[in-house]
Homo-oligomer: A and B are copies of this chain.
Amino acid sequence: MNERKEIQTYLKDAVITVEEALKSVLPADWDVPQRLRDSMMYSLEAGGKRIRPALVLAAAEAVNGDEQASAQALSVACAVECIHTYSLVHDDLPALDNDDYRRGKLTNHKVYGEAMAILAGDALLTHAFHLIPQTVSSGVPAQTALAISSDLAMLAGARGMVGGQVADVLGEQGITSISELEYIHLHKTSDLIVFAVTSGARVGGASEQQLELLRQYGRNVGLAFQIQDDILDLIGDEAKLGKKTNSDVAQQKVTYPYLLGIEESKAEVERLTQEAKAAVLDARLAEPLRLLEIADYLLNREY
């Protein structure tokens, strides 16, 4: 057996795998208007931690310890990144967050114009549902692919990510309680992480009981991830984040650190991480270690 990779190396390798796969899901000779493909690729290739697709791959492998499962799940990993990317492109639009930069690069509409950014977002969203059925050709049963597609529509839609985004838009300045903030984060951030973990686990052959425990993992990891983001945004290093820190405070955005203070927010991230790990252990997966390590990695990240 080879020496075991550090989690940092494992995640870096996942980024390479996913970014390579993303290139081939929008082939260069694709029969679409060139500018549309350019606009889609611009945001897909804009980097980021690729933590959602990494979770798809890790969860697929975790269930039965079968590395083949993570290869089978690769088009689902690309699908989740298409969804995440479209949500950023639309969120950055002038009518929403009106951001000019993301990760140190101009946002999509600043490069391609608003019309193209709206349409490229629509195309990326739709493309996710094109990628999921492709798992069937790598041996995933049609029922499983359909369940994954149905989960994505639920978790990315009105009752999921879009609902969270709407609550965020409607709540701006008016949020005063942790429970309102939690609603936003659970939908805007956790739901897609829940999808990433459970879709991978479905490819890996997880039982309903395992899926339910992995949903708990995803909810907690997602919430911890978002609170950690808010903490880093407040105290972080401008260069590392690639955007102005303290921007939420400048905009008077209500966050966990704003409502609870930094120390209590850090404690909450820690508590959520432990709960997430407990759920994974309860799920009795064949190889739970990567999912445990990823929860810890996200807790300890500095950007």
Contact = CB atoms under 8 A, between A and B. Distances in A.
A33 interface: yes
A149 B147 CA distance: 12
Interface of A: 26, 30-33, 35-37, 40, 86, 90, 93, 95-96, 113-116, 118-119, 121-123, 125-130, 132-133, 136, 142-143, 145-147, 149-150, 152-154, 156-159, 162-163, 165-167, 169-170
A152 B165 contact: no
Q: Which 5 A-B pairs have the closest CB atoms?
A: A130-B153, A95-B114, A126-B157, A133-B150, A129-B153
A119 B166 contact: yes
How many identical chains are in the complex? Answer: 2
B40 A158 contact: yes
Contact of A129 (B30, B152, B167): B152
16 contacts: A30-B159, A32-B163, A33-B167, A90-B119, A95-B113, A95-B115, A95-B118, A119-B166, A122-B125, A125-B125, A126-B162, A127-B157, A127-B158, A128-B153, A130-B153, A145-B146
A165 to B, nearest CB: 6
A30 B158 contact: yes
B129 A35 contact: no
B123 A96 contact: no
A135 to B, nearest CB: 10
Contacts of A35: 166, 170
Nearest to A134: B150
Contacts of A119: 90, 162, 165-166, 169
Given A40-B158, A129-B152, A162-B36, A96 B115 contact: yes
A81 B266 CA distance: 46
B115 A169 contact: yes
